[in-house]
């Protein structure tokens, strides 16, 4: 059984399932490519934010898509400073995207890092390299006020096959909606109130939540088979599958 704090942390950082979940374990493999996500809870200072970005860039020394950044003005300098160090690695085109997001947390939580590759949450002790371990050690015992997410993955419009958003509530599967690029809004009721979901060309994402922490809204869009968004208060899971 996962406790409330652990659920909030995993739901924000990795989109962990409520009642289903990401596979655990395994070692990071830079040669396979695929989808890699580094999430971090860090203190509200530039050194900590840049540390997460630097650790992600050090995971793989190969070329990267030109980054897309979603960060408040207060954090853009820190993000740009780290990303500039890898300017000679950025390329245009291709079917991958590199995104960086920085958001301020509504409450302080223990600082930590989490690394995912192809749906697996990797064990820090066996899968983290020296840079990640050093960064994680520097966060030990500190409080986090900012969430940083670095994602390297296939662009939604480059995904092969048809996709569907599976909606599950406390009674099981509730609906299946095609992710065909059309823009539509869903209002889903649950024990804690309503959850508003927007479907568009980028996939599906929560744009409004009545629960206290609204961590489901911070998880961003899901578009690839296997990705999901979970909301524990409303007993709701949004999961992408191949139709």
**What percent of the chain is modeled with pLDDT above 70?**
81
pLDDT, tens digit (0-9, with 9 covering 90-100), for 13-53? 444 333 333 344 556 666 666 678 888 889 999 999 999 99
**Highest mean pLDDT pick, 19-23, 120-124, 157-161, 198-202:** 198-202
| Closest to 70 (Cα-Cα) out of 214, 218, 173, 187 | 218
- Tell me yes or no: is domain 157-242 CATH 3.40.50.2300: no
Residue range(s) in the chain whose domain bears CATH number 2.60.320.10: 157-242
pLDDT at residue 153 above 90? no
CA pair distance 24, 65, nearest whole angstrom = 27
**Highest mean pLDDT pick, 26-30, 116-120, 127-131, 232-236:** 232-236
CA pair distance 231, 96, nearest whole angstrom = 28
Q: What is the largest CA-CA distance in the chain?
A: 51
pLDDT at residue 144 above 80? yes
CB atoms near residue 32 (< 10 Å): 9
pLDDT, tens digit (0-9, with 9 covering 90-100), for 49-92? 999 999 999 888 889 999 999 999 999 988 999 999 999 999 98
Mean pLDDT of the 91-106 span: 87
pLDDT band at 227 (very low <50, low <70, confident <90, very high): confident
Beta strands in 36-124 (DSSP E): 36-42, 64-65, 67-70, 90-91, 96-110, 112-117, 120-121
User: Looking at the whole model, is its pTM more than 0.75?
Assistant: no
pLDDT, tens digit (0-9, with 9 covering 90-100), for 174-194? 999 998 888 999 999 988 899
Contact 4, 218 (CB under 8 A): no
**CA triplet 220, 23, 243: central angle to 5 degrees?**
60
| Closest to 114 (Cα-Cα) out of 6, 20, 30, 212 | 6
Terminal C-alpha separation, the chain: 31
């Amino acid at each position: 059984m996962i406790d409330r704090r652990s659920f909030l942390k995993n739901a924000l950082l990795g989109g962990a399932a409520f009642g289903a979940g990401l596979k655990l374990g395994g070692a990071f493999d830079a040669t396979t490519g695929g989808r890699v996500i580094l999430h971090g809870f860090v203190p509200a200072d530039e050194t900590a934010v840049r540390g997460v970005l630097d650790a992600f860039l050090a995971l793989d020394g190969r070329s990267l898509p030109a980054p897309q950044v979603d960060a408040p003005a207060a954090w853009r300098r820190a993000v740009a400073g780290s990303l500039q160090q890898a300017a000679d690695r950025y390329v245009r085109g291709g079917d991958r995207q590199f995104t960086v997001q920085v958001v301020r947390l509504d409450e302080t939580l223990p600082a930590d890092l989490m690394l995912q590759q192809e749906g697996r949450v990797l064990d820090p002790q066996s899968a983290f390299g020296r840079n990640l371990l050093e960064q994680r050690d520097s966060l030990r015992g500190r409080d986090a006020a900012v969430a940083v997410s670095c994602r390297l993955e296939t662009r939604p419009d480059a995904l092969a096959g048809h996709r569907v958003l599976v909606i599950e509530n406390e009674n099981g599967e509730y609906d299946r909606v095609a992710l065909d690029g059309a823009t539509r809004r869903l209002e889903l009721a649950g024990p804690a109130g309503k959850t508003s979901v927007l479907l568009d060309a980028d996939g599906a994402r929560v744009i409004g939540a009545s629960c206290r922490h609204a961590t489901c809204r911070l998880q961003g869009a899901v578009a690839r088979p296997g990705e999901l968004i979970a909301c524990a208060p409303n007993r709701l899971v949004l999961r992408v599958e191949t139709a």
